[in-house]
Structure 1
Amino acid sequence: MSNVFVVDTNKKPLDPVHPGEARRLLSQGKAAVWRRFPFTIILKSEGRTSTIQPLRIKLDPGSKTTGIAIVNDASGEVVFAAELSHRGQAIKASLDDRRAVRRSRRQRKTRYRKARWANRKRKPGWMPPSLESRIANIVTWVSRFSRYAPIQAISQELVKFDMQLMENAEISGVHYQQGTLQGYEIREYLLEKWNRTCSYCGKKDIPLQIEHIHPRANGGTNRISNLCLACEKCNSAKDTRDIKDFLKKKPEVLKKILAQAKSPLKDAAVVNVTRWALHEHVKATGLPVECGSGGLTKFNRTTRTLPKTHWIDAANVGRSTPADLIIKGVKPLVIKATGNGRRKMCVTDAYGFPKQHKERKGFSMGYRTGDVVRAITPKGTYQGRIAIRHRPSFRLGKIDVHPKYMRRLHRVDGYEYVHERSASCSSPWVNRGVPASRDFKDGSQHGM
């Protein structure tokens, strides 16, 4: 698993340690658990001193998931890894629901009122809330990791300067649009879009060729929506035939290809829109920022024969990537953004009509909805996230537990956590209302 973060008595970050070393410090009473996620211990005395090695945090921003890796440039060790899942789609769905409710109310209550949708102004640099949340999530975790580890530099995957225009200022037209890497970039995009498989036969791990869905001989174009991948055998068999004639015996494959060829480029647009805004926020931290392209990330990963995952891509961002990247035993922490609750006081049905009113109460007796607690009751020991109720007992999974039996393990912070070994499970890190499992022996709680 990943290393454990360590902070001194003044909450200054020290070098992360191996989980075995952290377990020894906790068992000997020399340290206590400071945070559960990411797991961080705090020393109880100032006796432990060592030379702090600077670390670099690397980011691979994505539309739905962002890879994060903390790398020691000197030794090439990946100290910590995480994969951050964003909630942009959930935010957009909530805004759509709110807009539908408000429009319905205006139509029913104030039909005579003049529309005011054109009277709004947006500040410079405005972005939709679904995109702002992605940037806020990444910046939040860069700030957090800087408090838990001695981060001295940042690497971000970002498109570099326009080198073609810098070398030849007079280039224009088709020559500028194509460029020297046009074919390479198109191939990389198609490999991702078609999952590195033949579009017609579904074979993998074989040489693939760029295929025109509507043949050029019959008026087809080189647009991305008209391109797919095919093996040499399928490409030769199709030749200049119409795809409907070629796949008339495979209607499912034909339907899939036509649907995927017209799939929207929403994810690519999200990354393009947010990359520079994220870059400006990262620069505002005051740390030196290194930028790297997607092609360089793939080159670093393939030359080191590493598998493709979000956090491994993040570890290979930039020219600072060590020649020998040590990833043995690293299990990333999967972080899922869930938000910090909602202000909705009236719950609506699927048609937008109010059906239930809820009291705005998220705190009670020092606890908050979403806190991770451990409850030692006469019937057994349970741990999970709680939900505040009006009665003295709180909801813990499928049972009700009184706060006198509870002990907080982690405050709600708008995120859920799960380790890679159980990432296939549908439930988050802590099963809701199940018997507690064996955990690190922790002393007194600090800063929880």
Structure 2
Amino acid sequence: MAVFVLDRLGKPLMPCSEKRARLLLARRRARVHRLMPFAIRLVDRELLSSAAQPLRIKLDPGSKATGLALVRDIEQVDASTGEIHRGAVVLNLFELVHRGRQISEALTARRAMRRRRRGALRYRAPRFLNRTRPTRWLAPSLQHRVDTTLAWVKRLQRWAPITAASTELVRFDMQVPDNPEVTGIEYQQGTLFGYELREYLLEKWTRKCCYCDVQNVPLNIEHLVSRARGGSNRVSNLAIACVPCNIRKAAQPLDVFVKDKARLTAQVRRPLKDASAVNATRWALVNALRATGLPVETASGGRTKYNRSQLGIPKTHALDAVCVGEVSAVVAWRKPTLRVKCTGRGSYQRTLLDRYGFPRGYLMRARRVRGFGTGDHVRADVPSGRKAGTHRGRVAVRATGSFNIQTHDQVVQGVAHRYCRVLQRADGYGYSRMAIDKGEAGGGAATQPGPSLPGLKAEVSRAEG
């Protein structure tokens, strides 16, 4: 992973390699600015000019997670036609995990508890016409996706000289499936048309066979009402099926081939939940990105899949972001991915409630104990006892001064505060590293423990000391 570099005044410079960062730290020309994501700050240099290589932030918005990729734009010249195409050199990969579901469940629980207390304790006349919502209002669980994504774009702007942005505006280009007569050779006969349609069907049928629900096998586009019986090519008549089911069905009617025709009919009419959440926030995210002053490039999810297939890149949220928009070649994409999970900053609620909404206990009023707060990244050096050793991770504080430390593989309970040292204050996110498993045929993602960048552990330890 590339290391973020700031000058002496805190202005972003071009990210450097891990080797160069290690040399700068060893020679005392830089100091550790933050651990996750890893950034250093020079102590003997200021930003004298604004000349920098073009960096682009790419986003693949999702309902549960958003992929982000920081890339450097390069120009590729086609030898046969002489045309110039845009390529990308991958610098950093991020996977931002949202907590929209937790927000929705918390609001539902609060609403139910308030209704219970108001009905059981006192009567209050119903209110109406006194709650107004602003124009283009989004539910809190949806607004959270926009806010956290924009917050990380602004963070990366503070750490790197980003000059442009690319994002998916729509998951699928729906004018293609819904209107086959749309003009344009790229839509009618181009290779992109098949990717738009196939990606929509895979998402619609949750990447399972519509007949036997089998997964992780080759799936074909299936006509629910066969062409031999007058079936059309409209998207409402299409599904995906495994090869054996496709062969066995042939031209049979659905009533004969399947027993539960109502389930298939309901699935055809059912809206896409994840796609609906993305579509509800797509314009809000694009407008927020444009408000940052960056030129924003928009593309569809079908084009992302087309680019990924042509370049032979496995599917992850972060690598999908690399393939967003115009890209003819991708260099150095086999990099670890920093997984950023939204954890929040705690709750204002200091009272624990029972199932009926009445108090059953109280939390401590102070958020910080002995200078530590829940979520801080700490290092504990325990000299003796059953917990002897060095433990690094997120801390959960107690009023007694005996803390719990969540490491990458276990929870160490009952560590005294005097053995702890703060490495990085809580910022509302949890960090872990994911790496491309090169030994796996599909190049899937595997979790890799350890919060520090390889090759920089000694320098980080020296900086902590």
Q: Distance in 2 between matches of 1:262 and 1:131?
A: 23
Report the 3-state secondary structure (helix = DSSP H, G, I; strand = E; otherwise coil) of the residue aligned with 2:330. Answer: coil
Q: Distance in 1 between matches of 2:227 and 2:100?
A: 39
Residue 227 of structure 1, CA deviation: 4.2
Q: Is the 8 A contact 1:83 1:311 kept in 2?
A: yes
Does residue 386 in structure 1 map to residue 417 in structure 2?
no
Q: Distance in 2 between matches of 1:355 and 1:404?
A: 32
Which letter does structure 1 place at the counterpart of 2:420? M
Change in 2 beyond 3 A, CA 1:363/1:349: same
Q: Distance in 1 between matches of 2:46 and 2:221?
A: 62
Q: Distance in 1 between matches of 2:295 and 2:464?
A: 34
Does residue 335 in structure 1 map to residue 340 in structure 2?
yes
Residue 329 of structure 1, CA deviation: 3.5
List runs of 5+ in structure 1 lacking aligned partners.
166-173, 432-436
Look up the match of 2:81.
none
Change in 2 beyond 3 A, CA 1:293/1:424: closer
Q: Distance in 1 between matches of 2:383 and 2:311?
A: 54
- For 1:344-423, what aligned pairs fall within 5 Å after superposition? 344-379=349-384, 380-396=389-405, 397-421=411-435
Aligned-residue Cα RMSD (Å) equals 3.7
Q: Is the 8 A contact 2:117 2:357 kept in 1?
A: no
The structure showing larger relative contact order (alpha-carbon pairs under 8 Å, at least 6 residues apart) is 1
Q: Is the 8 A contact 2:337 2:435 kept in 1?
A: no
Q: Distance in 1 between matches of 2:318 and 2:308?
A: 11
Change in 2 beyond 3 A, CA 1:352/1:38: same
Report the 3-state secondary structure (helix = DSSP H, G, I; strand = E; otherwise coil) of the residue aligned with 1:119. Answer: coil
Residue 351 of structure 1, CA deviation: 4.5
Which letter does structure 1 place at the counterpart of 2:100? G
Instruction: Write the deviation string for residues 4-48 of structure 1: whole angstroms up to 9, x where unpaired.
Output: 111111111111111122222222322221111111111222289
Q: Is the 8 A contact 1:417 1:429 kept in 2?
A: no
Q: Is the 8 A contact 2:69 2:90 kept in 1?
A: yes
Q: Is the 8 A contact 1:209 1:232 kept in 2?
A: no
Q: Distance in 2 between matches of 1:195 and 1:122?
A: 34
Look up the match of 2:440.
none
Q: Distance in 2 between matches of 1:107 and 1:222?
A: 55
Look up the match of 2:134.
123
- For 1:301-312, what aligned pairs fall within 5 Å after superposition? 301-312=308-319
Residue 283 of structure 1, CA deviation: 0.9
List runs of 5+ in structure 2 lacking aligned partners.
76-87, 406-410, 437-444
Change in 2 beyond 3 A, CA 1:374/1:204: closer
Q: Is the 8 A contact 1:27 1:441 kept in 2?
A: no
Look up the match of 1:63.
63
Residue 392 of structure 1, CA deviation: 3.3
Q: Distance in 1 between matches of 2:211 and 2:175?
A: 36
Q: Is the 8 A contact 1:58 1:156 kept in 2?
A: yes
- Output the TM-score relative to the length of structure 1: 0.82
Look up the match of 1:135.
146
Does residue 237 in structure 1 map to residue 244 in structure 2?
no
Q: Is the 8 A contact 1:208 1:232 kept in 2?
A: yes
Instruction: Write the deviation string for residues 32-69 of structure 1: whole angstroms up to 9, x where unpaired.
Output: 21111111111222289996323111111111111101
Does residue 92 in structure 1 map to residue 104 in structure 2?
yes
Residue 244 of structure 1, CA deviation: 6.8
* Identical residues among aligned pairs (%): 43
Report the 3-state secondary structure (helix = DSSP H, G, I; strand = E; otherwise coil) of the residue aligned with 1:420. Answer: strand
Q: Distance in 2 between matches of 1:428 and 1:136?
A: 28
Q: Distance in 2 between matches of 1:71 and 1:3?
A: 10
Report the 3-state secondary structure (helix = DSSP H, G, I; strand = E; otherwise coil) of the residue aligned with 1:32. Answer: strand
Residue 385 of structure 1, CA deviation: 1.5
Look up the match of 1:276.
283
Q: Is the 8 A contact 2:11 2:47 kept in 1?
A: no
Residue 186 of structure 1, CA deviation: 3.8
- Which stretch shows the higher mean deviation, 49-58 or 339-348? 49-58
Which letter does structure 2 place at the counterpart of 1:128? A
Q: Distance in 1 between matches of 2:47 and 2:199?
A: 49
Look up the match of 1:158.
169
Q: Distance in 2 between matches of 1:190 and 1:283?
A: 31
Q: Distance in 1 between matches of 2:232 and 2:113?
A: 44
Q: Is the 8 A contact 1:32 1:443 kept in 2?
A: no
Aligned length: 422
